[in-house]
């Protein structure tokens, strides 16, 4: 289970970094990070950190795609972890 926590920690750090970077680019009218990249980072484990960061810095909070998509990704990730924990020895 420990590698999962490391994965989530790194994914969360990347999610916070790309979200803050995209906000800075938006403020300075520079080239932005593609939405597909942001969603990829979220799907790879950074959804919770990205959602919290977006709320805290008020970035993309008016975009329904993010305000509905990120909680949905987070829900699916939670269900995946819950189902994984219910059958721990099947993969061993």
- Average pLDDT value for residue range 51-80: 94
pLDDT, tens digit (0-9, with 9 covering 90-100), for 42-58:
999 999 999 999 999 99
The better pLDDT of the pair 64, 89 is held by 64
Q: The whole model's pTM is what? A: 0.85
Contact by Cβ (8 Å): 41, 18:
yes
């Amino acid at each position: 289970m420990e590698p999962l926590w490391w994965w989530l920690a790194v994914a969360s750090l990347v999610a916070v970094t790309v979200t803050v970077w995209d906000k800075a680019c938006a403020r300075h009218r520079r080239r932005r990070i593609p939405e597909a990249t942001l969603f990829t980072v979220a799907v790879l484990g950074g959804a919770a950190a990205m959602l919290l960061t977006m709320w805290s810095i008020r970035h993309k909070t008016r975009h329904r795609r993010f305000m509905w998509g990120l909680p949905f990704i987070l829900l699916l990730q939670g269900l995946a972890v819950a189902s994984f924990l219910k059958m721990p020895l099947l993969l061993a």
